[in-house]
Structure 1
Amino acid sequence: MRKLIVTEFLTLDGVYEEATPWQRDYAPDDGPFKRDELFGADALLLGRVTYDGFAAYWPTATGAFAERMNRLPKYVATTTRTSLDWNATPLGGDVVAAVRDLKAQEGGALLVYGSGTLVQTLLRHDLVDELRLMVYPLVLGRGKRLFGEGDPLRLALSSARDLGSGVMLLIYEPDRSARTDG
């Protein structure tokens, strides 16, 4: 069974949208972590908006990271696109079932970059095996939050690392020991 890993850039108040403008004010030493993360995955799982942004940039980028990004198969959660470029496959209407099928296959980790709406769905359906949060020391006070209203989510911290510039890498796994079936 494949492991599903989510990696997100977040502010202290949980905002994930449009990370790039506020990220520019910080210079964490995240290169080795992001490289190891990408090279440790066998495929990418992306929301359509993240896919569109990545597909516009990565095919013309150069270097080992770009080559790996371009070679990996990509699975895209979309109900509006039936065909995709850039080594990508649309998942279609029932994303939860499609991701369950992907996880059941043999192979290495599925890596989700960004894709907040998709991640919320994956979390709600207990499909995430590891949540890697790069938390920036910033409170925006507005914006799309990764953790909104809904069912509580119990997590267990598996590691924490200071990446510099006040940015913390927090790695969580679902705490399934506290769940009940009632």
Structure 2
Amino acid sequence: MRPLIVTEFVSLDGVYEEHSPWRAPYDPDDGPFKRDELFASGALLLGRTTYEAFAAYWPTATGAFAERMNALPKYVATSRPGPLGWNATALGPDIPADVQALKSQPGGPLLLYGSGTLAQTLLRHGLVDELRLMVFPVVVGHGKRIFDTLEDLPLTLLATRALGAGVLLLTYGPARP
């Protein structure tokens, strides 16, 4: 069974909301981690908002990272009608069942970038094998928080890593009884 890895940018107080001005500038130490993460993946899993932002940028980007991003199959959780381009397939209305089916297929890990609402749904249904939080050194005080809609979610810390510019990568897995 292929694992599902969720990777999120969050503030110290857990805010994940996209396009927030709080994010620290890119740090060169982030690059190797994000590159390794993408190149180890077999497919991307995205919410519609993240998909649209990525699809507007990556098809015209250049370099090995962009080539890999463009080549990977993408699965999009969306309720909006209309065709998807950029090597993407819409998931059906039962997102957890569709993701479970994707996990049972052969191939490399499924990587979910951002897409906080989708990440919450998959965490709630016990489908996430690894949760990677890139924690930025700022307290926002308001906004959507990654654990807002979740209760009783026992996790086990698997690894920690400093990425530079004060960003800490915390990697969690489901707690095993």
TM category (shorter chain) comes to: over 0.9
SS in structure 2 at match of 1:148: coil
Cα distance in 2 for partners of 1:84, 1:68 equals 19
**Residue 164 (str. 1) matches residue 164 (str. 2):** yes
Q: 2:96 — aligned with what?
A: 96
- The C-alpha deviation readout for 1:161-182, integer Å capped at 9, x for no partner, is 11121110011101031xxxxx
SS in structure 1 at match of 2:68: helix
Q: CA deviation at 1:27?
A: 3.0
Q: 2:138 — aligned with what?
A: 138
Counterpart code for 1:40: A
Q: CA deviation at 1:25?
A: 4.4
**Residue 16 (str. 1) matches residue 19 (str. 2):** no
**Do the aligned partners of 1:15 and 1:140 also contact (CA within 8 Å) in 2?**
yes
**Residue 117 (str. 1) matches residue 126 (str. 2):** no
C-alpha change, 1:35 and 1:11, in structure 2 (3 Å) is same
Q: CA deviation at 1:48?
A: 0.5
Counterpart code for 2:113: Y
How does the TM-score come out when normalised to structure 1?
0.93
Cα distance in 2 for partners of 1:72, 1:170 equals 25
Structure 2 unaligned runs (5+)?
Answer: none
**Residue 5 (str. 1) matches residue 12 (str. 2):** no
Q: CA deviation at 1:19?
A: 4.7
Q: CA deviation at 1:106?
A: 1.1
How does the TM-score come out when normalised to structure 2?
0.96
Counterpart code for 1:172: Y
Q: 2:68 — aligned with what?
A: 68
Number of corresponding residues: 177
RMSD: 1.3
SS in structure 2 at match of 1:96: helix
Cα distance in 1 for partners of 2:112, 2:137 equals 23
Cα distance in 2 for partners of 1:82, 1:176 equals 41
C-alpha change, 1:129 and 1:9, in structure 2 (3 Å) is same
SS in structure 2 at match of 1:41: coil
Q: CA deviation at 1:20?
A: 5.5
**Do the aligned partners of 1:47 and 1:115 also contact (CA within 8 Å) in 2?**
yes
Cα distance in 2 for partners of 1:148, 1:156 equals 19
C-alpha change, 1:127 and 1:45, in structure 2 (3 Å) is same
SS in structure 1 at match of 2:131: strand
**Do the aligned partners of 1:77 and 1:118 also contact (CA within 8 Å) in 2?**
yes
Structure 1 unaligned runs (5+)?
Answer: 178-182
